[in-house]
Structure 1
Amino acid sequence: MSVRFALAAALLVASPVGAQTITVFAAASLADALTEAAARYEDETGTEATLAFAGSSALARQIQQGAPADLFISANTDWMDTLAAEGLIASETRIDLLGNSLVLIAPAPAEPITPDALDLPALLGNGRLAMALLDAVPAGIYGQAALESLGQWEAVQGQVAQGDNVRAALAFVATGAAPLGIVYGTDAAAEPRVSVVMTFPEGSYPAIRYPAAVTADAAQPEAVGAFLDWLASAPAQAIFARHGFSRPGA
C-alpha cells in the first residue's frame, strides 16, 4: 500500500473493475497507525483503503470542494461538525473513534520538566516553537489553548513556527530546525529523534477526539461502513493503542 502526504485529490487513482477500494481522508497524526490498520484489514477482507493524510482543515475543505472521499477522520470535532452542518457526511455513521494527548517535545535526548516548572521563553531563547497551523489545524488549536491555560502564550506567540499539519511541526523539531514543538503524544512516540519534555495536563486544552464518519457521497457506503466498524473493533483498537492512541473518554 502506497501512502504519501499530499493533497488528497492527488491520491485518487483509477481502480480495477470490481475491486473493493475505498478512499479515506484522515488527520496527519493518524498516518502510522491507520496505515498499519488498513493493511491488516486489506489482508483479512480484500478491501483496499487508499489513504490521504493532511491537516483536518485541508481535508475538510477538499470535501467541501467535491473531492470524492468515502470516509473522513478528523483530529477534532469542529471540522466534522462543519461538514455535518453542510450535509456532507452521513451523520448517523459518525462515531468518536480515538483520543490522544498533547506534549512538548525537543530534539532527543532532552530532560523532562513538570508543568509547574515550565518557562517557555527561557527554554526557547531565540529559537522557534514548532506548532501546526494555529487558526485551522486541530493540533495547533489545542496547543495554543494549552499555552494560554498555563500562562505561556503571550510571551512566546511571536516565536511560533507554523507547519501545515502536526507532522510538519514534528519534522521541524526532529531535524533540529526548532528547539521545541507541540505535537500529539502519538507523533512523539513515532519519531525517535525527539524526546517528550512535558505532557500537557488534562484540562489545559479541550479533550482530543477523533470523530469519523462516512461521507454523504461515498461510492460504496456499505463497504465504508464495514471498514469504520472494524476500526472501532478490539483488533483495530489494539493497533491504535500500540501507537499511543486512547479510546474516547479514556
Structure 2
Amino acid sequence: MRWCIVLIRLSFVLAWAACSVAMLLPLRAHADAPATVFAAASLQGVLSDLAEVYPGGARVSVGGSGMIARQIADGAPADAVILANLDWMDWLEAEGAVDSASRIGLLGNTLVLIAPEDTPDLDAVTIASVTARLDGGRIAIGQTAGIPAGIYGRQWLEAAGLWDALRPHLAETDNVRAALALVARGEAPLGVVYATDAAAEAGVRVLYTVPAQMHDPITYPAAALTDAGARFITFLQTAEARDIFAAHGFATLQPLP
C-alpha cells in the first residue's frame, strides 16, 4: 500500500511537471517569435543586418514611408513601424494606428547629391552646372510630394533657389532606393538620396552633401504596434544595435536604455 501511495504521488509530480513545461513552451515560442517590421526603404540594408542578430529574427518589409504608413493604417499585420519622416508618423497617430507613448525618434541621416561612380567632381551646385551635367538626362529623386527623401530634396532645391529651373528635369520614384538604382545603372546622371544609401551602393559617388539647415531635420521615428514590436524597438536602442546603425552611417538619437 505504501508503495502504491508513493507511485501515485510520483505520478502527480510528473504530471504537474509536464503541464508546467507545456505551459512554458508557448510563452518561450512567443518570446522568440520573429517580429514583423514595416520600414522605410532606406533602412533595408541595416535592418537586414539587425534581423540576423535579433533573438528570434525579424521579418522586414520596406517601401516608401507614405506607402508603409497607409498599409499600417489599413491594418497590415506589423509589430513595429519605422518611417523616414515625422509627418507620416504624425498622420498614423492621428489615424489612431499608433500610440504616441510607443513613439521614439530613432535615427538621423544626411541628404546628398550623387552620380555614377566614374563621374568627375562637380565644382559647384548651380542651375548652369547641374543642367550641363544632366545633358538632357534627369535627376532621380523620390516623389517630392510624398516620399521623405524627395520632400527633403525639394526643400533643399527651394532653399537653394534651384527648384523652378530643375523641377522639369526630375525623375520622381516610388522610394529612395529606386532613385539610387537609376543612378547606379547609369540611367540618371544625378540623384538625390540619403548618405547611407550612397554608402551602400558601390556604383555611385557623392558629389555634394546638402547642408542640414537647408531642409527639415531628417529623423526616423519608430513605433511599436504590439508587444513583439516593443521588444524589437527596445533592441534597436542597445549598444549592439547602435554599432550596426553606425556601421551603416546612421546617427542614433536615443540614449542607451
- Tell me whether the two structures share a fold, i.e. TM-score over 0.5: yes
Take 2:39 and 2:125, find their aligned partners in 1: how far apart are those partners? 34
More helix by share: 2
Superposed counterparts of 1:34-53, under 5 Å: 34-41=47-54, 45=55, 47-53=56-62
Q: Which stretches in structure 1 are left out of the alignment for 5+ residues?
A: 1-16
1:203 counterpart SS class: helix
Q: Offset at 1:117?
A: 5.8
Matching of residue 21 in structure 1 with residue 34 in structure 2: yes
Q: Is the 8 A contact 1:115 1:200 kept in 2?
A: no
Report the aligned-residue RMSD: 1.8
Structure 1 equivalent of residue 91 of structure 2: 82
Q: Is the 8 A contact 1:26 1:56 kept in 2?
A: yes
Q: Offset at 1:114?
A: 5.7
Matching of residue 246 in structure 1 with residue 248 in structure 2: no
Q: Is the 8 A contact 1:112 1:198 kept in 2?
A: no
Structure 1 equivalent of residue 176 of structure 2: 166
TM-score norm. by structure 2 comes to: 0.83
Superposed counterparts of 1:97-116, under 5 Å: 97-113=106-122
Percent identity for Structure 1 against Structure 2: 48
Matching of residue 73 in structure 1 with residue 78 in structure 2: no
Superposed counterparts of 1:1-250, under 5 Å: 20-41=33-54, 45=55, 47-113=56-122, 119-215=129-225, 218=226, 221=227, 223-248=228-253
Take 2:157 and 2:126, find their aligned partners in 1: how far apart are those partners? 13
Q: Between Structure 1 and Structure 2, how many residues are aligned?
A: 225
Q: Offset at 1:73?
A: 0.1
Deviations, residues 166-214 of structure 1 (Å, cap 9, x unaligned):
0000001000110000000000000000000100012011110000001
Q: Which stretches in structure 2 are left out of the alignment for 5+ residues?
A: 1-28
TM-score norm. by structure 1 comes to: 0.85
Q: Offset at 1:162?
A: 1.1
Q: Is the 8 A contact 2:126 2:162 kept in 1?
A: no
Give the 3 Å change call, closer, same or farther, for CA 49–144 of structure 1 in structure 2.
same
2:252 counterpart SS class: coil
Q: Is the radius of gyration larger for structure 1 or structure 2? A: 2
Q: Is the 8 A contact 2:39 2:60 kept in 1?
A: yes
